[in-house]
């Protein structure tokens, strides 16, 4: 019964790898969507259907659409892809890759010392999540709402063009 998890994990890994290595932004974005969907599947398999739905709706839906809009606005085409080719030479890859592999190796080493024992998972229903979210974590919800508001104001402020969006003209 564990096969779906491992298949989803491999898909997620491979598609994420593709995200990081693509030259064309739109391609990378599509791979990221795949990666997010497979992670959503992993969530579902781990007994968390509510966040699996959120992953699909918000991550793979809303946030990715934002990226698509920006990429379209900036009109990144073949020219940029050519530039990417110049930027992505093996020497640039080497240092960060080694660093990250060391980090990943350390993580895996630590995890492998735990007893790799399977256990029964239980579904944590959306109802439970909702009760906990608006019960003990209500303060966090308020903070998150403020954060989103700040993000909204910040994005508006940064995104408007000088002399067009605001009342003040410089």
- Considering only residues 65 to 94 of the shown chain, the ones binding another protein according to CB under 8 A are 66-67, 70-71, 73-74, 76, 80, 84, 87-88, 92-93
Q: Shortest gap between Cβ of 167 and another protein (angstroms)?
A: 19
Nearer to another protein among residue 97 and residue 166 (C-beta): 97
Site for another protein in 6-45 (CB under 8 A): 6, 9, 12-13, 16-17, 19-20, 25, 28-29, 32, 35-36, 39, 42-45
Q: What is the CA radius of gyration of the chain?
A: 21
- Min dist CB 52 to another protein, Å, is 9
Single out the residue of 77, 82, 85, 108 in contact with another protein (rule: CB under 8 A).
108
Calpha distance 30→24 (Å, rounded): 10
The CA-atom distances, in angstroms, between 121 and each of 28, 48, 57, 112, 126 are 33, 10, 24, 20, 16
Find the binding residues for another protein in span 121-160 (CB under 8 A).
121-124, 128-129, 131-133, 137, 140, 144-145, 147-148, 150-152, 154-159
Task: Report residue 94 as tokens.
Answer: 């080497």
Chain centroid, CA 148 distance in Å: 17
Residue 161, SS3? coil
Q: How far is the CB of 153 from another protein (least distance, A)?
A: 9
**Residue entry with tokens 């209500």:** 138
**25-45 vs 3-21: helix crossing angle, rounded to 10:** 160
Residue of the chain from 72, 82, 85, 102 that contacts another protein (CB under 8 A): 102
């Amino acid at each position: 019964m564990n096969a779906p998890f491992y298949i989803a994990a491999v898909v997620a890994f491979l598609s994420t790898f593709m995200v990081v290595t693509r030259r064309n932004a739109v391609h990378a974005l599509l791979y990221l969507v795949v990666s997010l969907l497979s992670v959503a599947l992993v969530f579902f398999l781990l007994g968390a259907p509510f966040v699996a739905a959120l992953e699909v709706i918000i991550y793979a839906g809303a946030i990715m659409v934002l990226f698509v809009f920006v990429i379209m606005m900036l009109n990144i085409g073949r020219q940029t892809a050519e530039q990417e080719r110049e930027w992505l030479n093996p020497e640039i890859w080497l240092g960060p890759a080694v660093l990250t592999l060391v980090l990943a190796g350390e993580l895996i080493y630590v995890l492998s010392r735990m007893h790799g024992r399977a256990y029964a998972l239980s579904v944590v229903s959306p109802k439970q999540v909702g009760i906990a979210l608006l019960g003990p974590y209500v303060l966090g919800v308020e903070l998150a709402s403020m954060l989103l508001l700040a993000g909204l104001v910040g994005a508006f402020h940064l995104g408007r063009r000088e002399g067009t969006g605001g009342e003040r003209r410089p």
